[in-house]
């Protein structure tokens, strides 16, 4: 008899959802293998903002998740728009250019609300309104970004802590400092264990089924460079240093099929002042996502994206990569004083460079060509608009630069005319990779022979095919928990069937 019913590799949101789901589905001996030591546990989930995108028809449906919201936020429900399953799927289709996996994206969207309620009820993850990230105040009313109203209480730190607590309470064993190195396969081709490295050396743990939820390859410079390119090779890492692509490599070594956009990743504008890896205690505070209210210039003094193309939470995941492609992988976000109150609180983790005139400001920044920077800002101002022309930060306001700009700004194109002017640096920080493995609708890993691999399941960032080029904010955690829950349930069933077969033999 193997040592475990189910081995879960990884200890982020997806893996712990799988472990809890396996237990809930009847697996008795479930172990979680976490490569990181206890003090670094939890993967990117710990670093995350904990925001959860899910579909609902009536805003009041979310009430049980955030029971105190009405007391704490005036007219809470009035600022929330319904976000139907078709809206969610439409957003996924739009930002991925129609390339999201049709089966997996439907599973994600159809299950999204149920998954979040399951995280709350079974996972015992407390939740709260995601006020600081996805709400904007307009005429004293709080207006919410569509589909993005709820987050885990205490963000990713709280989410991760809750998952560990619940898993432990349910009797899941957690082995820290235990890195999975390879998968064991029996003579029938069934995955039956994991070879690990821990303080005692190398050993094999056996199980009826294995769930892999051990992240992408965002922290692995060689794999980033090889699959995504040299710009991303040089990116700073926003989350855990432990997601090195181990699980993807191990699964492909036993025949798993790569799936999705291996040349794609989620990379966001972050402060250029941060180090190669984001400090754990600062979690996601490196983000610089208020560029929709700014003009963003590269070091040559030129604009390179339409800052107002869409709401930031629909462009941030690709604009980090856009900055990495610019000279020195750096940009400056320039704001005037009219919009400073709209800056996300995360900007407070660095000091802006401030000046009373645009001339003075460009001299203070490290442009290779300050004259060009000034000319770009003046050209922008000549085509930009005034507040009373319909400016509205609570929605895509259509307030675009007037004709004649080679690269227009299509929303929130306000003039930079109220000093003092503030500049914040930005570079691209990689969050996670889009390439993963092909799975069935039961989260079983598919081999390069197009047949499911017995005993092997996968979830979280390791799942390929959902995201291409871009990503709608708040989808990673809901996707992780959705496929984690399915993977845990499937693995428990497979374990039970395998135990039955063994008993009958």
Ligand X SMILES: Cc1cc2nc3c(=O)[nH]c(=O)nc-3n(C[C@H](O)[C@H](O)[C@H](O)COP(=O)(O)OP(=O)(O)OC[C@H]3O[C@@H](n4cnc5c(N)ncnc54)[C@H](O)[C@@H]3O)c2cc1C
How many Å separate Cα 261 from the centre of its chain?
15
**Closest distance of CB 46 from ligand X, Å:** 7
> Binding string, 371-410, against ligand X, x = CB under 6 A?
----------------------------------------
> Binding string, 202-221, against ligand X, x = CB under 6 A?
-----------xxx------
239 or 264, CB closer to ligand X?
Answer: 239
Q: Are strands 4-9 and 30-33 parallel, antiparallel or unpaired?
A: parallel
CA-based nearest residue to 457, from 497, 434, 499, 486: 486
Of these, 29, 227, 242, 438, which contacts ligand X (CB under 6 A)? 242
260 is a contact residue toward ligand X (CB under 6 A): no
Of these, 238, 299, 385, 489, which contacts ligand X (CB under 6 A)? 238
CA-based nearest residue to 301, from 359, 404, 371, 356: 371
Stretch that binds ligand X, among 29-37, 62-70, 136-144, 419-427 (CB under 6 A): 29-37
* 23's tokens: 């237990």
Q: Which of residues 423-452 bind ligand X (CB under 6 A)?
A: 431-432
**Closest distance of CB 241 from ligand X, Å:** 9
Of these, 6, 33, 95, 362, which contacts ligand X (CB under 6 A)? 33
* 13's tokens: 């949101």
Of these, 476, 485, 489, 491, which contacts ligand X (CB under 6 A)? 476
Stretch that binds ligand X, among 235-243, 378-386, 387-395, 450-458 (CB under 6 A): 235-243
Distances (CA, A) of 38 to 165, 174, 175, 176: 13, 10, 9, 6
Stretch that binds ligand X, among 31-39, 106-114, 355-363, 388-396 (CB under 6 A): 31-39
Stretch that binds ligand X, among 236-244, 296-304, 352-360, 368-376 (CB under 6 A): 236-244
**Closest distance of CB 477 from ligand X, Å:** 3
Q: Are the CB atoms for 31 and 7 separated by under 8 Å?
A: yes
**C-beta neighbour count of 493 within 10 angstroms:** 16
333 or 431, CB closer to ligand X?
Answer: 431
243 is a contact residue toward ligand X (CB under 6 A): yes
Of these, 8, 19, 51, 145, which contacts ligand X (CB under 6 A)? 51
Longest dimension (CA), the chain: 83
127 is a contact residue toward ligand X (CB under 6 A): no
**Closest distance of CB 434 from ligand X, Å:** 11
> What are the two backbone dihedrals, phi and then psi, of residue 383, each rounded to the nearest 5 degrees?
-110, -5
Of these, 20, 36, 167, 322, which contacts ligand X (CB under 6 A)? 36
Q: Which of residues 284-343 bind ligand X (CB under 6 A)?
A: 284
Stretch that binds ligand X, among 37-45, 64-72, 375-383, 397-405 (CB under 6 A): 37-45
Q: Which of residues 161-180 bind ligand X (CB under 6 A)?
A: 179-180
Torsion of CA 293, 297, 318, 430, to 10 degrees: -110
Of these, 4, 47, 144, 319, which contacts ligand X (CB under 6 A)? 47
In degrees, rounded to 5, the angle at the alpha carbon of residue 240 between the alpha carbons of residues 65 and 182 is: 105
> What are the two backbone dihedrals, phi and then psi, of residue 223, each rounded to the nearest 5 degrees?
-70, -35
Give how many residues touch ligand X by CB under 6 A.
42
Q: Are the CB atoms for 296 and 307 separated by under 8 Å?
A: yes
Tell me which residue has tokens 């995360």.
346
Plot region of 301 (φ>0 → left; ψ -120 to 50 → alpha; else → beta) = left
* 491's tokens: 């693995």
Going by the DSSP 8-state scheme, the letter that residue 187 receives in this structure is: T
Residue 314 CA to residue 189 CA, distance in Å, equals 42
Is residue 79 classed as helix, strand or coil in its secondary structure?
helix
50 or 488, CB closer to ligand X?
Answer: 50
**Closest distance of CB 479 from ligand X, Å:** 7
**Closest distance of CB 495 from ligand X, Å:** 19
Q: What is the DSSP code string of 406-466?
A: SS---S--B---SSSEEEEEEEEEEEEE--EE-B-TT-EEEBTTSSEEEEEEE-GGGB-SS
Residue 268 CA to residue 306 CA, distance in Å, equals 15
**Closest distance of CB 51 from ligand X, Å:** 4
Stretch that binds ligand X, among 41-49, 326-334, 375-383, 405-413 (CB under 6 A): 41-49
For 397, residues 6+ apart whose C-beta sits below 8 A from its C-beta are 390, 391, 411, 412
**Closest distance of CB 356 from ligand X, Å:** 34
**Closest distance of CB 178 from ligand X, Å:** 6
158 or 460, CB closer to ligand X?
Answer: 460
413 is a contact residue toward ligand X (CB under 6 A): no
For ligand X, the binding residues (CB under 6 A) are: 9-15, 33-36, 42-45, 47-51, 179-180, 213-215, 238-240, 242-243, 246-247, 284, 431-432, 460-461, 474-477, 480
């Amino acid at each position: 008899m193997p040592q475990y019913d189910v081995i879960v590799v990884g200890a982020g949101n997806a893996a712990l959802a799988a472990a809890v789901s396996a237990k809930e589905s009847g697996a008795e001996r479930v172990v979680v293998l976490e490569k990181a030591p206890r003090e670094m546990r939890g993967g990117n989930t710990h670093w995350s903002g904990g925001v959860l995108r899910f579909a609902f028809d009536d805003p009041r449906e979310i009430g049980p998740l955030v029971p105190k919201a009405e007391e704490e936020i005036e007219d809470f429900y009035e600022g929330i728009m319904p976000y139907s399953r078709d809206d969610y799927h439409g957003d996924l289709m739009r930002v991925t250019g129609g390339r999201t996996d049709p089966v997996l994206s439907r599973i994600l969207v159809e299950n999204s609300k149920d998954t979040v309620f399951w995280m709350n009820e079974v996972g015992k993850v407390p939740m709260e309104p995601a006020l600081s990230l996805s709400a904007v105040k307009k005429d004293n009313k709080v207006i919410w970004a569509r589909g993005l109203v709820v987050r885990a209480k205490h963000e990713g730190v709280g989410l991760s802590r809750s998952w560990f607590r619940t898993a432990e309470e349910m009797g899941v064993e957690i082995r820290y400092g235990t890195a999975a190195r390879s998968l064991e396969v029996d003579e029938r081709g069934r995955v039956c264990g994991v070879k690990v490295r821990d303080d005692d050396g190398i050993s094999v743990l056996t199980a009826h089924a294995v769930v892999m939820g051990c992240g992408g390859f965002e922290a692995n410079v060689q794999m980033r460079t090889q699959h995504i390119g040299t710009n991303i090779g040089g990116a700073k890492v926003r989350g855990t240093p432990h997601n090195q692509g181990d699980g993807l490599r191990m699964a492909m070594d036993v025949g798993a099929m790569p799936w999705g956009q291996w040349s794609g990743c989620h990379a966001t504008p972050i402060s250029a002042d941060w180090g190669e890896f984001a400090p754990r205690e600062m979690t996601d505070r490196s983000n610089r996502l208020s560029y929709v209210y700014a003009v963003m210039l590269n070091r040559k003094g030129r604009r390179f994206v339409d800052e107002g193309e869409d709401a930031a939470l629909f462009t941030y995941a690709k604009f980090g990569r856009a900055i990495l492609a610019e000279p020195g992988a750096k940009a400056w976000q320039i704001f005037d004083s009219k919009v400073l109150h709209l800056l996300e609180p995360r900007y407070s983790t660095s000091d802006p460079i401030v000046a009373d005139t645009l001339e003075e400001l460009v001299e203070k920044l490290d442009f290779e060509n300050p004259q060009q920077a000034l000319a770009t800002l003046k050209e922008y101002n000549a085509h930009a608009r005034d507040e009373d022309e319909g400016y509205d930060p609570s929605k895509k306001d259509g307030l675009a630069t007037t004709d004649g700009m080679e690269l227009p700004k299509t929303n929130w194109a306000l003039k930079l005319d109220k000093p003092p002017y503030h500049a914040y640096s930005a570079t691209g920080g990689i969050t996670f990779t889009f390439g993963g493995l092909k799975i069935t609708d039961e989260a079983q890993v598919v081999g390069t022979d197009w047949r499911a691999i017995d005993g092997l399941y996968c979830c979280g960032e390791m799942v390929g095919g959902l995201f291409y080029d871009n990503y709608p904010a708040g989808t990673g955690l809901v996707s992780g928990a959705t496929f984690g829950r399915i993977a845990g349930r499937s693995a428990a069933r497979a374990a039970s069937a395998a135990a039955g077969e063994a008993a009958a033999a």
